[in-house]
Amino acid sequence: MRLKSADASDAQQAVHDIFTAYRYPLYGYLRSSSLGHEDAEDVLQGFFEKMLRTDSLGTADPARGKLRTFLLTALSRFKLNFQRGEQRRHQRVRAEADLWDADEARWQREQHATQETPEHAYDRRWAVELIEQVRHRLRQHFEQLGKLELYLALAPLLSSEQPETETFAQTAARLSMTENALRVALSRLRQDFRDALLKEVKRTLDEGDDARAEIQHLLGSVQG
Per-residue pLDDT, averaged over 40-56, amounts to: 85
Q: Is the pLDDT of residue 158 over 50?
A: yes
- pLDDT tens track for 137-157: 999 999 999 999 999 999 988
User: What is the model's pLDDT at position 38?
Assistant: 86
Q: How far apart are the first and last CA of the chain?
A: 31
Cβ neighbors of 52 (< 8 A, separation 6 or more) are 15, 93
With CA atoms as reference, report the closest residue to 117 among 224, 4, 3. Answer: 224
DSSP 114: -
Q: How far apart are CA 133 and CA 138, in angstroms?
A: 9
Whether 21 and 126 have beta carbons less than 8 Å apart is answered as: yes
User: What is the model's pLDDT at position 7?
Assistant: 78
Q: Is the pLDDT of residue 88 over 50?
A: no
pTM for the model = 0.57
What φ, ψ does residue 46 adopt, rounded to 5°? -65, -35
User: What is the model's pLDDT at position 209?
Assistant: 77
Query: How many other C-beta atoms are found inside a 10 Å radius of the C-beta of residue 59?
Result: 9
User: What is the model's pLDDT at position 160?
Assistant: 56
Cβ neighbors of 157 (< 8 A, separation 6 or more) are 163, 186, 190
User: What is the model's pLDDT at position 128?
Assistant: 85
DSSP-assigned states of every residue in 168-185: HHHHHHHTT--HHHHHHH
Please tell me which residue, 111 or 133, carries the higher pLDDT value. Answer: 133
Per-residue pLDDT, averaged over 174-191, amounts to: 92
In angstroms, the Cα distances linking 186 to 150, 154, 174, 201, 210 are 9, 6, 15, 22, 27
Q: How far apart are CA 197 and CA 212, in angstroms?
A: 10
Give the domain ranges of the chain. 1-111, 117-224
25: helix, coil or strand?
A: helix
User: What is the model's pLDDT at position 92?
Assistant: 47
Percent of the chain with pLDDT over 90: 24
* Strand residues in the chain grouped as ranges (E): none
User: What is the model's pLDDT at position 173?
Assistant: 92
DSSP 84: T
**Confidence label for 129 from pLDDT (cuts 50, 70 and 90):** confident
Q: How far apart are CA 224 and CA 218, in angstroms?
A: 10
**Confidence label for 93 from pLDDT (cuts 50, 70 and 90):** very low
Please tell me which residue, 146 or 13, carries the higher pLDDT value. Answer: 146
